[in-house]
Amino acid sequence: MDVESFRVAAKSMIDWICDYYDNVESLPVRSELSVGDIRSVLPSEAPTGPESWNKISSDFQEKIMPGVMHWQSPNFYAYFPSAFSFPSLLGDLMSSALSVNGFLWVSSPAATELETVVVDWLGKMMGLPQAFLAIDSEGKRGKGGGVVQTTASECTLVALLAARARIMEGRPLSDTSRLVCYFSDQAHSSVRKACMVAVTPHVRVLPTCHSTGFSMEPALLEAAIKEDLAAGLLPFYMVGTIGTTSSCAVDPIGEMGAIAQKYKLWLHVDGAHAGVAAILPEQRHHFAGVELADSFNTNPHKWLLTTFDCSCIWFRDADPLKAALSLTPAYLRGKGNAYDYQNWEIPVGRRFRSLKLWFVLRAYGQEKLQGFLRHHIRLAETVAALARKDERFEVSAPPRFGLVCFRLKGRSNEDTSALIEAFNKTGKAFLITTDLAGQTVARIACGGFMTQERHVRATWQLIGDTATALFSAPEE
Ligand code: PLP
């Protein structure tokens, strides 16, 4: 494809994208294909010669689109949102157009420098402590700073590796067999996966307090650490979550931080979805104690209008991270005191992700972004109020950060699952269930960039109608 053919194809693809967003609301949210359906309509070998762009794009429309889940539908409420906005899309387009690889400052100075600036911008918007910023208010470079990674999973893993490097400094390698890591039974599965990947020998999963809304109990955490120390183990890493996946519970970060400091553990705070809510002054109380954390993560690609992938992590002191991940062969030498972000992550190669975040922060500005998050928080409160009004339902956890959990009151887990499956089958909206203290609950995660009050009201109406059809139908 030459430049002129690209110009034509790209213009028609941009038209396609605009039409898609004009119509996405009317599409069935969930693809109803079965496993293998897409594969069955594709050739088993790549073409030996070039194919025309017309043919490729019509195959995309006919063969691929039927298998797409419409995450950007205003009626998509499953998981947590995957953020989208047009400025971000343009940022991704430009990043791909330039296709630079910013592993070192010298390998593309703009990629590195913009990332340092933009991650500091976001850190300041969220009120993160000065120590987490790369450049302080007097323009001095500190020991901390942030970086953009692919996902929260990767952030949790690199934080764990930094924690291990810190505790293992000066110790014999054999001490790695004594390492223990702590998190709650509500922590995301990626925390356990990080422990698996890093071959952490001891993992303590602490039960949460159901009456306080599924958050970590500091007394249990401290007792577990004491017990492990007494058994000759080496506690080194704990993860607290702000906005757990199942119910958006918030762990008591201040109390966890005090315990982390007392016993010299690394505290990582996982705010994958909800962390960006720190840009709202009225939500900041959830973040109390974050100054005691060693690292903090949030994904603008979940709730801050930035397309996947864009996950930011800040470190109070990035030296242990660099100690864990720096390895510089002759062909990867950097330039003196520049930030070389290959030393802050597992892969060497890295995309120019800060560009899209920069576009988003500039195109919206802080106030509009705050308004965007407040809108979703209000939508979730609207759904919760509707659920409370209908005596067939109960709200299972306090609505928070745009998420509402509910279930059928006094009925079995199977009934709630059957209700959601029947509801999803309508194609009009999509949500998922989770497990909270042995109960199946449905989650409505409000966060779509097109979702308005009329959508959540219609969704709730349909949930009620589906329940009526399933459970109030006259006996045969
Ligand atoms: N942590 C929490 C609290 C999450 O909710 C999720 C995903 O929803 C993750 C971590 C994993 O995020 P990622 O897909 O960016 O690895």
- What are 19's two structure tokens? 């039409």
Question: Is 90 exceeded by the pLDDT of residue 136?
Answer: no
- Nearest Cα residue to 178 out of 227, 222, 229, 132: 229
Residue 183, beta-bridge partner list:
205
Q: What is the pLDDT of residue 32?
A: 87
- What are 336's two structure tokens? 């003196």
Put residue 215 in one of left, alpha, beta given phi > 0 → left and psi -120 to 50 → alpha.
Answer: beta
Query: 3-state DSSP call for residue 44?
Result: coil
Q: What is the pLDDT of residue 448?
A: 96
- What are 80's two structure tokens? 């947590």
Mean pLDDT of the chain: 95
Kindly give the pairing relationship between strand 266-271 and strand 234-241. parallel
Query: 3-state DSSP call for residue 135?
Result: strand
Question: Is 70 exceeded by the pLDDT of residue 68?
Answer: yes
pTM confidence score: 0.96
Question: Is 70 exceeded by the pLDDT of residue 416?
Answer: yes
Q: What is the pLDDT of residue 209?
A: 83
Mean pLDDT computed over 286-295: 98
C-beta pairs of 389-396 under 8 Å, 24+ apart in sequence: 390/464, 392/464, 392/467, 392/471, 393/467, 396/247, 396/436, 396/439, 396/441
Query: 3-state DSSP call for residue 12?
Result: helix
φ, ψ of residue 228 to 5 degrees: the values are -70, -40
**Which residues contact residue 425 at a Cβ distance below 8 angstroms, ignoring those fewer than 6 apart?**
none
C-beta pairs of 321-324 under 8 Å, 24+ apart in sequence: 321/158, 321/159, 321/161, 321/162, 321/165, 323/162, 323/165, 323/166, 323/169, 324/158, 324/161, 324/162, 324/164, 324/165
* Å from CA of 269 to ligand 1 middle: 12
Orientation of helix 354-389 relative to helix 86-98, angle to 10°: 150
Say if ligand 1 is within 6 A of residue 303 CB. Answer: no
Q: What is the pLDDT of residue 338?
A: 75
Share of the chain above pLDDT 70, in %: 99
Q: What is the pLDDT of residue 336?
A: 67
Q: 253 and 290 in contact (C-beta within 8 Å)?
A: yes
The beta strand positions in 256-330, using DSSP E, are 266-271, 295-298, 311-315
Q: 154 and 160 in contact (C-beta within 8 Å)?
A: no
Mean pLDDT computed over 56-79: 96
Say if ligand 1 is within 6 A of residue 241 CB. Answer: yes
Mean pLDDT computed over 395-400: 94
Q: What is the pLDDT of residue 139?
A: 86
Q: What is the pLDDT of residue 473?
A: 59
Question: Is 60 exceeded by the pLDDT of residue 474?
Answer: no
Q: What is the pLDDT of residue 389?
A: 97
Question: Is 90 exceeded by the pLDDT of residue 137?
Answer: no
**What H or E segment, with its residue span, contains residue 52?**
none
Q: What is the pLDDT of residue 374?
A: 98
- Cα–Cα dist 56/61, whole Å: 9
Q: How would you label 175-211 residue by residue, b for 16+ Cβ within 10 Å and e otherwise? A: ebebbbbbbbebbbebbbebbebbebebebbbebbee
Question: Is 80 exceeded by the pLDDT of residue 328?
Answer: no
Say if ligand 1 is within 6 A of residue 273 CB. Answer: yes
Residue 147, beta-bridge partner list:
313
Say if ligand 1 is within 6 A of residue 301 CB. Answer: no
pLDDT (tens digit, 9 = 90+) per residue, 84-133?
999 999 999 999 999 999 999 999 999 999 999 999 999 999 999 999 99
Q: Where are the alpha helices (DSSP H) in 185-337?
A: 189-197, 218-230, 253-263, 300-303, 319-325
* Best of 82, 185, 188 for a ligand 1 pocket test (most atoms within 8 Å of beta carbon): 188
Q: Residue type at 367?
A: E
Mean pLDDT computed over 347-371: 97
Say if ligand 1 is within 6 A of residue 116 CB. Answer: no
Question: Is 60 exceeded by the pLDDT of residue 359?
Answer: yes
* Å from CA of 273 to ligand 1 middle: 7
* Å from CA of 299 to ligand 1 middle: 8
Mean pLDDT computed over 372-398: 97
Mean pLDDT computed over 383-389: 97
pLDDT (tens digit, 9 = 90+) per residue, 162-216?
999 999 999 999 999 999 999 999 999 999 999 999 999 999 999 998 877 899 9
pLDDT (tens digit, 9 = 90+) per residue, 20-33?
999 999 999 999 89
- Nearest Cα residue to 302 out of 74, 86, 82: 82
Mean pLDDT computed over 254-261: 98
* Å from CA of 82 to ligand 1 middle: 11
* Å from CA of 363 to ligand 1 middle: 26
Question: Is 70 exceeded by the pLDDT of residue 239?
Answer: yes
* Best of 184, 195, 245 for a ligand 1 pocket test (most atoms within 8 Å of beta carbon): 245
Q: What is the pLDDT of residue 88?
A: 98
Question: Is 80 exceeded by the pLDDT of residue 475?
Answer: no
- What are 129's two structure tokens? 């402590």
Q: What is the pLDDT of residue 205?
A: 98
* Å from CA of 208 to ligand 1 middle: 19
* Å from CA of 79 to ligand 1 middle: 9
Domains of the chain: 1-30+69-98+364-476 (3.90.1150.170), 101-351 (3.40.640.10)
Kindly give the pairing relationship between strand 403-408 and strand 393-400. antiparallel
pLDDT (tens digit, 9 = 90+) per residue, 144-164?
999 999 999 999 999 999 999
